[in-house]
Amino acid sequence: MRYEIKGEPLPVVICYPVSGEKIITESGAMSWRSQDFKMETKAGGIGKAFGRMFSGESLFQNIYTANSDGQFIAFASSFPGAIKAIEVTPDKPIICQKTAFLAAEEGVELSVHLQKKVGAGLFGGEGFIMNKLSGRGIAFVELDGSVYDYDLKAGEQLVISTGNLAYCDATVDIGIQSVGGVKNALFGGEGIFNTVVTGPGHVVIQSITALEARMQSGANQ
């Protein structure tokens, strides 16, 4: 499927599906489109629906099917930041922050990813519940602020301030690390714990957290 990502600081992805192609999106995410689409609203099963709800996503999803060639449909970011296109394959699922999912081709499945490590879930800033993108196709995620990409080798680590991990390959291990030292923890401004990701795999970091982005957006209104 052809697409283009345009605009700053509130980007939009415009998709150009051919006749019969389907695009899955969160309820209410569509910004504008051409006329010849069929829209269906589905929960995708009770378990999956409630799983999405607990991961911060909508209970329902919309499926847009192009009825003819030459159609277009646009999905805009909710907060200042970036939209990234991710190629998801059966051997390369993606773990991403809650509320990141924007839209995807039909072959991509959105599900819940539970943190296996209690410490990472409690103190890593990402929470116990994250999102998992699996299957096959292009997925679009909305991220906060600017984004930076790193490819980690096996055993290579990256220390990230809590909440700044945007998404990573499922092969990446997510853990936590104490800042160390009472004065560092109390007065260093970094909190008590940082998120530590260990390769191998691709890691994407966002310059501000989702909470910071929403607070800034509310202050500007």
The residue that leads in pLDDT, 38 or 180, is 38
CATH 3.60.160.10 describes domain 2-220: yes
The residue that leads in pLDDT, 97 or 152, is 152
**pLDDT at res. 115:** 59
How confident is the model over 154-174, as pLDDT tens digits? 999 999 987 899 999 999 998
The residue that leads in pLDDT, 125 or 196, is 196
Q: Is the pLDDT of residue 120 over 50?
A: no
* pLDDT, the chain, mean: 82
Torsion sign, CA atoms 37, 40, 44, 49: positive
Instruction: Indicate the domain borders of the chain.
Output: 2-220
Letter string b/e over residues 94-107, b meaning 16 or more CB atoms within 10 A of that residue's CB: bbbbbbbbbbbbbb
pTM: 0.81
Q: Across residues 100-128, what is the average pLDDT?
A: 69
How confident is the model over 17-53, as pLDDT tens digits? 999 999 999 878 899 999 999 999 887 544 454 455 5
Question: Which positions ≥6 away from 196 have C-beta within 8 Å?
Answer: 157, 158, 159, 160, 174, 175, 176, 177
User: In the chain, pLDDT over 70 holds for what percent of residues?
Assistant: 74
